[in-house]
Amino acid sequence: MLSAQCEHTFFLLYIFLFPFHHNRENKNHMLRAANMDKLLIQPLIALLISSLIAARAYRRKSLDLSGAIAGFAVMTIHIAIGYRYGALLLVFFFTSSKLTKVGEDKKRRVDADFKEGGQRNWVQVLSNSGIASVLVLVLWSKTGLQDKCLDSKESVFITSLIGGVIGHYACCNGDTWSSELGILSDAQPRLITTFKPVRKGTNGGVTKAGLLAAAAAGSVIGLTYVVFGFPTTKCTYDVALKQLLVIPISTLAGLCGSLIDSLLGATLQFSGFCTVRNKVVGKPGPTVKKISGLNYLDNNAVNVVSILLTTILTSIACTCIF
């Protein structure tokens, strides 16, 4: 009995004499517990969310079977590594899928490759998410599951990686919004290289509505990054406030990505008018009259190149600004 009382007394004395050491141990224990929760719970949440969304997208014909499988893998990687990266991907996916279904009757009459709901395959999925997936994996190798702010004073490399992810999805979103809404515009598109009027569906054709849509799409990506960053990052007040600059940067990235895509489409991607189908097509043939472009790149290749260039430009911009 006396021994137990002595132990209790010494324990209280230890806490009284060394309170900071005791608190530090508690904090370290709490940090380890939080990290363990992230390591175990976040991947499980990622698997659950990704499987539900991929299955839903397949049922609604936004993705075909191969696209759903690829989408599941990509979503799992993004969400498991960081909720903010997952949010960027999902905002791009959901808004693009929704806009694809807007004005389907009109798009069916114009688009030679029209598919109900979009039905994107694994090549299209990876074309629009592959580069970002690599960047996110590199971020994970450098930061673990800790979400970081854009801050070159802390790390130029990490800032460049995060900037690249932002630029990637700003470009993807901008190009998709521009294409899906621009084709519905009553205005006749103009070829970006010559500014001559061209038929709707011509690669490299731009409209004011399409360019505005691209800028708006980029701003949505920037806003998503900022909003989801407040609860997931720990930055000083000045650094946190500076993150708001992501919105105009992302807006410009969306517009820039769409312009790069249009330039590539007008020069390195074939467009011709098929007199049999009465539509603009992407491959030459005996009944096809050339409109513009060389037959070097298809739509997926154009997307990859424009995304890569926009990713690099945005990455450099972020390291200079933040």
**Predicted structure pTM score:** 0.85
Tokens encoding 109: 């009459």
Domains contained in the chain, number: 1
CA dihedral over 308, 312, 315, 321, signed as positive or negative: negative
Name the H helices within the chain: 2-17, 19-59, 65-81, 83-100, 104-110, 122-127, 130-143, 156-182, 208-229, 237-242, 246-268, 299-321
Percent of the chain with pLDDT over 70: 86
Kindly report, residue by residue over 180-239, the tens digit of the pLDDT: 898 888 889 999 999 999 999 899 999 999 999 999 999 999 999 999 988 888 888 899
The answer as to whether 31 is a domain residue is no
Average pLDDT on 81-96 reads: 95
Q: Which of 216, 206, 203 is nearest to 182 (CA)?
A: 206
Across all residues in the chain, what is the average pLDDT?
Answer: 87
The answer as to whether 47 is a domain residue is no
Average pLDDT on 316-321 reads: 97
Say if residues 258 and 175 touch (Cβ distance below 8 Å). yes
pLDDT over 70 at 165, yes or no: yes
pLDDT band, residue 112 (cuts 50/70/90): low
**What backbone torsions phi and psi does residue 36 show, to the nearest 5 degrees?**
-65, -40
Contacts of 23 (CB under 8 A, 6+ apart): none
Average pLDDT on 154-165 reads: 97
Contacts of 195 (CB under 8 A, 6+ apart): none
The answer as to whether 209 is a domain residue is yes
Say if residues 50 and 76 touch (Cβ distance below 8 Å). yes
Query: Who wins on pLDDT, 139 or 103?
Result: 139
pLDDT over 90 at 16, yes or no: no
CA–CA dist 171, 10 (Å, integer): 64
The answer as to whether 2 is a domain residue is no
pLDDT at 107: 74
Average pLDDT on 75-99 reads: 95
Contacts of 126 (CB under 8 A, 6+ apart): 70, 74
Q: Which amino acid is at 271?
A: S
pLDDT at 27: 44
The answer as to whether 8 is a domain residue is no
pLDDT at 168: 98
The answer as to whether 13 is a domain residue is no
Average pLDDT on 38-63 reads: 91
**What backbone torsions phi and psi does residue 182 show, to the nearest 5 degrees?**
-65, -35
Average pLDDT on 261-265 reads: 97
Range of the domain at 264: 83-321
Say if residues 276 and 294 touch (Cβ distance below 8 Å). no
Average pLDDT on 93-98 reads: 92
CA–CA dist 104, 118 (Å, integer): 10
CA–CA dist 17, 15 (Å, integer): 6
Query: Who wins on pLDDT, 312 or 23?
Result: 312
The answer as to whether 212 is a domain residue is yes
**In angstroms, how far is the first alpha carbon of the chain from the final one?**
63
pLDDT over 70 at 163, yes or no: yes
Q: Which amino acid is at 143?
A: T
Neighbours of 134 (CB within 10 A): 15
The answer as to whether 18 is a domain residue is no
Letter string b/e over residues 91-113, b meaning 16 or more CB atoms within 10 A of that residue's CB: bbbebbbebbeeeeeebeeebee
pLDDT at 38: 64
CA–CA dist 73, 132 (Å, integer): 13
pLDDT over 50 at 31, yes or no: no
Written as one string, the DSSP assignment of 60-103 is TTSB-HHHHHHHHHHHHHHHHH-HHHHHHHHHHHHHHHHHHTTT
pLDDT over 60 at 87, yes or no: yes
pLDDT at 233: 85
